[in-house]
Structure 1
Amino acid sequence: MGTFHSLLPLLVSALLSSSSPSVATLTADEAAAIVQRQQLAALGLYDRHPNDHVHIDIDIDIKITNPRLLTAHKALQALKDALYSDPNNFTGNWVGPDVCAYNGVLCVPSIHNASESAVATLDMNAADVAGYLPKEIGLMRDLAVLHLNSNRFCGVIPEEIRDMAELYELDASNNRFVGPFPAAVLEVPKLSYLDIRFNDFDGPIPPELFVKPYDAIFLNNNRFTSGIPETIGKTKATVIVLANNELGGCIPKSIGEAAATLDQFVFTNNSLTGCLPVETGLLANAAVFDVSGNELAGSIPPALSGLSKVEQLDLSRNMFTGDVPREVCELLALANLSVSYNFLTREAAECSARNGSMDRSFHDEANCMGQSRPTQRSADECAPVVSHPVDCTKVKPCGWPSVEPVPKPAQRPPPPVATPPPLPPPSPPSSVDARPLVSPPPPPILSPPPPLASPPPPVFSPPPPPPPHVVVPPVRGTKYQSPPPPLFPGY
């Protein structure tokens, strides 16, 4: 780097003294650009990013001999420039060549060359900055941990994030990112922890997500739609949280195939329908199973007795009918069982006995257990549902997608073609009027209807206000460096 810097005046002088007219007019900035390209070629970046895949504008006055720190400097300066609010001056010391001294930056010896330092962690959690994530973030190929939790980032996650070859942990939660699921994240080869909860992502969840060897997947509190992919049975994750979205359809039977690893399964507050598959009982390692706040129907399967390690089982606020199985209430590890706000009519004595226990809670209010219990629904409220229970043995097994295909719209008939009126018979030639006959104008041509208007461009939401001071709870079952975002109602 220092060699290029010292050769710059000589290079500019030589170029300006050239006899070529095109070279003689070369400015110092243009000559500096040549030096920059040479620097990039020396770092192996010029060919890596053809056609300005990532715009490179390295400050030639910064003397950084370590090529890994040089590219990290470029990325961090681009990130700083992309911020329009930094009320706590978090990036105030992001100046000069000592990248490893920047706030939030942790350097370690490179795994590729122990004699060189590399930026391994960028932790901006709760910095309260506002801005967007620039595409130059993809230059940080040594980065293993990227924490952006609890800021005011907006816009989209750039596709260049796929270039972060060492990224292991991505926490972009509690921001205002928008758009569909960031598919480029699925191309990060070593990613294990994905947390994009509390944003404004929308659209379907890609089936490829659950095929990746992720250990933790947090997508809750977005606006994801469609159904749960059948590939969820292939997941190796210990934690899957999809709560507070707009997911519909049913829970695939393949969920039982995730028994070896799944520890926490949280799908609360969506629009899931159908029956709870008996394969759920195969999740013997699950400690948390929460499908509350959906539209699940039918009976509670006794097969849930297979959840031998479950500590929290929440089936509340659904449309379940029938009994609360004795086998479920007898689960030894179960500390919190809730079946409230359903249409259940009976419960085993083992379930009622939980109400007197100090360490085992049981919630069964707002069901249809009879008028002798003041916390139950009225007979008028129960009758429409209880009299027409769903027989899960006759319900079509859940696949994905579970929604019916949208019928194609009827083809609009072509517009009628106007027929010109018949021509009048020709008049006999007149010796007085010798003017030639004038042909009638051609018939009008009916134009096809105008095309439908294009949808308006997406409106990027303004960044959210700074997060309030809250107590951050631990992530139970899986430990990571990044804390979860503030605990909003319902995960």
Structure 2
Amino acid sequence: MKALCCFLFLSINVFLSLTNIFVVATTRRHLGPIKETGLLTDFNFNIEINARLVFPNIRLKKAYFALQEWKKEILSDPQSMLKNWDGVDVCSYTGVFCAKAPDDPYLMTVAGIDLNNGDIAGQLVPHLGLLTDLSIFHISSNRFCGAIPSSFSDMKILHELDVSNNRFVGPFPDVVLNMPKLKYLDIRYNNFEGELPSQLFDIDLDAIFLNNNRFSSNIPENIGHSNASVIVLANNEFKGCIPIGITQMAALDEVILTNNQLTGCVPEELGMLENTTVLDLSYNKFVGTIPQSFENLKNVEMIDLRHNELTGTVVEAICTLPKLTNFTFSDNYFSELEPKCDKPVKPEIVFDNRKNCLKDKEDQKEKDVCSPVVNRKIDCESFGCSAKSDSDEESKKRKVPKRTPPPPPPKPSPSPPPTPVPEVPKPSPPPPPPPVQSPPPPVHSPPPPVYSPPPPSPTPPPPAPTQPPPPPPAPTHPPPPPPVPAPPPFDDIVLPPDIGNRYASPPPPMFPGGEERSSPYQTRKDLAGTSPRRSGPRRPRHPLLVIPSRSLSSSPSASSKTRRGPRPQPPHPPPRLLLKLHRSPKSAENIINFKLQFIAAFPFVP
């Protein structure tokens, strides 16, 4: 009996010991990447593979090792996407695509990973840093958790990183700042938090999606340094003012700052974004009036100012913008509406003026609610935003658009030289009499006299009596060579205004696909059903940013119902966020599957 009791006692102790060991091992296994420190800074891995396995080259051998290590960390694969991740032929794995190496056309290497909409649970492993030839990494709409390993910095030619709609946590993944070729960054719909690094806007990105996270800092002042055509910061907890530097982004196509905690007055400088098609400042704490500069937004299609504390008058100069299709200014404190803002000029234009303080309008706020706000005096400088806007750089930027129209007046100013006689002698003090005697020539060609008076100083007296009667002889000055080169500098002066579109974001060759936005803002409520999954309690989200992920299907929910087993391999479309990313589809005759897309992604490979 004693022996039996001792046996049971020892068995229980052993079982409990194994359980504790298992728990500790499992915990370390799952939290390893989160607590990643200097232990893996060199990213040197001991690759232990069965010697019997034969690989075409060392790069595919490393890829096999990395993918097998990643597979070990997968906890759930309901769609069996990783079922065929066995064997040495990694190029046949579901979601893995190979192409010729960028530095050696005779070597095949893993060029892309696409596991979008797989509902896979697990975490990323540092061994993925061995995929140094990776160009695209897409794992949108899964259940990956933890952090992005620092070893991803070894992916020196990675162009697209899409980890959206997962369960990643922690601060902003600084590893993306060390990817020199990165153009597309999508980390939306996660739980990243804390400050946004200012270095993000100093790297050459074309699209930045940070929406639906928990970032809570001020928007960095150097946001204007970015060359991105799309930056989405919506549905976070950003605070403070809108940086005036955002107006330096001539290529910015859409400004989406909805559902944050931004305060202060709406900057007057936003009217400088003449190429912007979408301006969404809704669900913030902006005060004051609508800037008059908004009438310069000639390309804007949608303006959303709802749910702020804006007051004053809605002017018809904004309501009659040429390309405007949707203007939403509901749930504010506007007290006056100009006629053309009451009834749209075109039937396709939609105005939403509900829940304001407009007289004789339906669905407005009560007087006792309106009076305290409407009668309140707003001092925009008290928010501390104007000080930043009065900096030297910003003042220059602010003066540029105002001085662009006046250039024509300086030209007519020299035309009447009889009155401004001292102005003409300034460029050529030695021969002041000649310019006085020949006012007609400057009328027809003001630049030539400015550059040519010194050389023809000895000659103008004789032709002076003959030139005034016939204006044509003015350009015919064979003796002095300076008048001949004078026209080229004049042309150079005219050129700068014509090259303003040079800032348009060029489509990188590695970005296939492309869809034009066809007035989606009129049906934004219909997008509510396609919202990607959110984890954890969150405050209500604005339906504008209910976005399908960058995937092959329209939404994660739809894909999980209709697709089972291995996924097809068409090229990646751009994010269907109601955005125009200036990308056109790759026009290649034999692009059938995703593998050939990566061959086209390397322009220096034949």
TM-score by length of structure 2 reads 0.58
CA distance in 2, matches of 1:344, 1:399: 27
Q: In 2, are the aligned partners of 1:69 and 1:99 still within 8 Å (CA)?
A: yes
For the residue of structure 2 that corresponds to 1:384, the secondary structure is helix
CA distance in 2, matches of 1:313, 1:246: 21
Superposition RMSD in Å: 2.2
For the residue of structure 2 that corresponds to 1:232, the secondary structure is helix
CA distance in 1, matches of 2:84, 2:358: 65
Q: Does structure 1 residue 363 correspond to structure 2 residue 363? A: no
Q: In the alignment, residue 375 of structure 1 is paired with which amino acid? A: D
What residue is the counterpart of 2:579 in the other structure?
Answer: 476
CA distance in 2, matches of 1:329, 1:107: 52
Deviation at 1:56, TM superposition (A): 3.5
CA distance in 2, matches of 1:278, 1:111: 47
Deviation at 1:329, TM superposition (A): 1.1
Q: In 1, are the aligned partners of 2:43 and 2:151 still within 8 Å (CA)?
A: no
Q: Does structure 1 residue 118 correspond to structure 2 residue 207? A: no
What residue is the counterpart of 1:94 in the other structure?
Answer: 85
Deviation at 1:139, TM superposition (A): 0.9
Q: In the alignment, residue 377 of structure 1 is paired with which amino acid? A: K
Q: What does the per-residue CA deviation read over 1:280-337, in whole Å, with 9 as the maximum and x for residues that have no partner? A: 0111111111010000111110101121111111111101111112221121011111
What residue is the counterpart of 2:283 in the other structure?
Answer: 293
- Name the CA shift for 1:54/1:326 in 2 (closer, same or farther; >3 Å): farther
**Matches of residues 142-161 of structure 1 in structure 2 within 5 Å?**
142-161=133-152
What residue is the counterpart of 2:376 in the other structure?
Answer: 388
Q: In 2, are the aligned partners of 1:170 and 1:194 still within 8 Å (CA)?
A: yes
What residue is the counterpart of 1:234 in the other structure?
Answer: 225
Q: 1:128 aligns with which of 96, 99, 119?
A: 119
What residue is the counterpart of 2:304 in the other structure?
Answer: 314
- Name the CA shift for 1:54/1:292 in 2 (closer, same or farther; >3 Å): farther
- Name the CA shift for 1:52/1:192 in 2 (closer, same or farther; >3 Å): closer
Q: In the alignment, residue 353 of structure 2 is paired with which amino acid? A: D
What residue is the counterpart of 1:417 in the other structure?
Answer: none
Deviation at 1:90, TM superposition (A): 0.5
Q: In 2, are the aligned partners of 1:321 and 1:389 still within 8 Å (CA)?
A: no
Q: 1:68 aligns with which of 55, 59, 63?
A: 59
CA distance in 2, matches of 1:323, 1:189: 47
What residue is the counterpart of 2:271 in the other structure?
Answer: 281
**Matches of residues 297-376 of structure 1 in structure 2 within 5 Å?**
297-354=287-344, 357-370=346-359, 372-376=360-364
Deviation at 1:52, TM superposition (A): 5.8
Higher helix share: 2
Deviation at 1:393, TM superposition (A): 6.0
Q: What does the per-residue CA deviation read over 1:18-50, in whole Å, with 9 as the maximum and x for residues that have no partner? A: xxxxxxxxxxxxxxxxxxxxxxxxxxxxxxx88
Q: In 1, are the aligned partners of 2:189 and 2:211 still within 8 Å (CA)?
A: yes
What residue is the counterpart of 1:445 in the other structure?
Answer: none
Q: In 2, are the aligned partners of 1:253 and 1:398 still within 8 Å (CA)?
A: no
Instruction: Report the more deviating stretch, 324-333 or 279-288.
Output: 324-333
**Matches of residues 192-231 of structure 1 in structure 2 within 5 Å?**
192-231=183-222
CA distance in 1, matches of 2:123, 2:313: 52
**Matches of residues 248-287 of structure 1 in structure 2 within 5 Å?**
248-258=239-249, 260-287=250-277
CA distance in 2, matches of 1:222, 1:66: 41
**Matches of residues 45-64 of structure 1 in structure 2 within 5 Å?**
53-54=44-45, 56-64=47-55
Deviation at 1:347, TM superposition (A): 1.8
Q: In the alignment, residue 317 of structure 2 is paired with which amino acid? A: E
- Name the CA shift for 1:50/1:191 in 2 (closer, same or farther; >3 Å): closer
Report sequence identity in percent: 43
Q: In the alignment, residue 469 of structure 1 is paired with which amino acid? A: A
CA distance in 2, matches of 1:291, 1:179: 27
What residue is the counterpart of 2:595 in the other structure?
Answer: none
- Name the CA shift for 1:138/1:127 in 2 (closer, same or farther; >3 Å): same
CA distance in 2, matches of 1:470, 1:79: 24
- Name the CA shift for 1:207/1:330 in 2 (closer, same or farther; >3 Å): same
Unmatched segments (≥5 aa) in structure 1: 1-48, 401-460, 482-491
Deviation at 1:202, TM superposition (A): 0.4
For the residue of structure 1 that corresponds to 2:161, the secondary structure is strand
Q: In 2, are the aligned partners of 1:153 and 1:177 still within 8 Å (CA)?
A: yes
CA distance in 2, matches of 1:221, 1:198: 5
Q: In 1, are the aligned partners of 2:41 and 2:150 still within 8 Å (CA)?
A: no
Q: In 2, are the aligned partners of 1:237 and 1:262 still within 8 Å (CA)?
A: yes
Q: In 2, are the aligned partners of 1:54 and 1:135 still within 8 Å (CA)?
A: no
Q: What does the per-residue CA deviation read over 1:325-378, in whole Å, with 9 as the maximum and x for residues that have no partner? A: 222112101111111101111122121121x742111111111112x2221111
For the residue of structure 2 that corresponds to 1:272, the secondary structure is strand
Q: In 2, are the aligned partners of 1:301 and 1:325 still within 8 Å (CA)?
A: no
Q: Does structure 1 residue 173 correspond to structure 2 residue 262? A: no
What residue is the counterpart of 1:430 in the other structure?
Answer: none
CA distance in 1, matches of 2:219, 2:132: 32
For the residue of structure 1 that corresponds to 2:65, the secondary structure is helix
- Name the CA shift for 1:325/1:50 in 2 (closer, same or farther; >3 Å): closer
For the residue of structure 2 that corresponds to 1:89, the secondary structure is coil
CA distance in 1, matches of 2:282, 2:577: 22
Deviation at 1:61, TM superposition (A): 3.1
For the residue of structure 2 that corresponds to 1:94, the secondary structure is coil
For the residue of structure 1 that corresponds to 2:91, the secondary structure is helix
CA distance in 1, matches of 2:166, 2:276: 29
Q: What does the per-residue CA deviation read over 1:248-297, in whole Å, with 9 as the maximum and x for residues that have no partner? A: 10101111111x21001111000000011111011111111101000011
Q: In 1, are the aligned partners of 2:241 and 2:385 still within 8 Å (CA)?
A: no
CA distance in 1, matches of 2:51, 2:330: 66
- Name the CA shift for 1:59/1:384 in 2 (closer, same or farther; >3 Å): farther
Deviation at 1:89, TM superposition (A): 1.0
CA distance in 2, matches of 1:373, 1:53: 70
Q: In the alignment, residue 385 of structure 2 is paired with which amino acid? A: P
CA distance in 2, matches of 1:203, 1:384: 35
CA distance in 2, matches of 1:318, 1:194: 30
Q: State how many pairs are aligned.
A: 367
